[in-house]
Amino acid sequence: MPERSDTSHGFGRVLVAVYAVFALAASARSLYQLIAKVESDTAVPYVLSAVAGIVYVLATYALATDRQRLALTTISIELAGVLVVGVLSLADPDLFPDETVWSDFGRGYGFVPLVLPLVGLWWLRRSRPVR
């Protein structure tokens, strides 16, 4: 019997677990930043952290429930976000006075935010149903 490649088995479970950790970390961090540290000149990075948290929550849900289209959309948004924020944070550090999940391509998180969407997209391609 061929090995199942959906998120209910093997590597798919690991990927869902990593996304769940990032969903919790990004959401908790952004909530703390928005409550305790937000000022008018620092609101943008904290809102971006909240967006990252929401994207990770949706991607976790989509991967855990094998909703391929939603997973593709959220992981693509994640990749675009980490690339855009990464470039902007390096080009103009004043835009991001405090570190976010995606700033500097996720350097504060060991560059996992940069690698994770690439792995997620690879997994979606590998596990898509055969037509």
Residues 78, 59 contacting (CB under 8 angstroms): yes
> For 11-48, what is each residue's pLDDT tens digit?
999 999 999 999 999 899 889 888 887 776 667 888 88
pTM summary value: 0.87
Q: How far apart are CA 83 and CA 14, in angstroms?
A: 24
Please report, for the chain, the start and end positions of each structural domain, with discontinuous segments joined by +.
11-127
> For 60-76, what is each residue's pLDDT tens digit?
999 999 899 999 999 99
Give the single-character DSSP code of 9.
Answer: S
DSSP reduced 3-state for 2: coil
Whether residue 96 is predicted with pLDDT greater than 90 in this model: the reply is: no
